[in-house]
């Protein structure tokens, strides 16, 4: 099946990427906030790109604040504990460098999507103003 790329699908994909980046930053910030909490386990956002690809343009509608993705940040039901990290004696496994790197990557992903979105709006503005 051939996929049609249009303005709406591009805008949806950019919005989805920006939302993911914000959620990844929120989870990393939560991990950093708990870096000294005994027994705290590092969390990460679980997104299945394959699932998103299969769903195509289907979107969930938030009708209640308890629904997934409501009120910004990452829903706790969409996070999992990260396995394979070294555990400290207090049971905490948050690693400062790992979390800072994760936040940096999320910021770069958000910035890239924002740049593409800004370029798209510049093209629209140019098309509108060129007709005058």
Task: Looking at the structure, tell me whether residues 103 and 60 fall in a common domain.
Answer: no
Q: Is position 45 within any domain?
A: yes
Task: Looking at the structure, tell me whether residues 65 and 39 fall in a common domain.
Answer: yes
Q: Is position 19 within any domain?
A: no
pLDDT bin (cut points 50, 70, 90) of residue 64 is low
Q: Is position 115 within any domain?
A: yes
Q: How many domains does the chain have?
A: 2
Q: What is the pLDDT of residues 3-14, one digit of tens each?
A: 677 888 888 889
Task: Looking at the structure, tell me whether residues 77 and 112 fall in a common domain.
Answer: no
pTM of the model: 0.70
Domain with 122, as residue range(s), is: 96-126
| DSSP 3-state of 42 | coil
Whole-angstrom distance, CA of residue 34 vs CA of residue 67: 25
């Amino acid at each position: 099946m051939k996929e049609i790329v249009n303005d709406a699908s591009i805008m949806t994909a950019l919005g989805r990427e920006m939302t993911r980046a914000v959620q990844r930053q929120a989870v990393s910030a939560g991990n950093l906030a708990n870096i000294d909490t005994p027994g705290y386990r590092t969390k990460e956002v679980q997104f299945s790109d394959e699932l998103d690809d299969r769903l195509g343009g289907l979107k969930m509608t938030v009708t209640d604040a308890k629904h997934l993705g409501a009120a910004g940040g990452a829903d706790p039901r969409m996070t999992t504990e990260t396995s394979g990290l070294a555990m400290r004696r207090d049971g905490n496994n948050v690693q400062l460098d790992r979390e800072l790197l994760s936040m940096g990557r999320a910021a770069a992903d958000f910035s890239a999507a924002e740049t593409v979105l800004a370029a798209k709006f510049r093209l629209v503005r140019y098309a509108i103003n060129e007709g005058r």
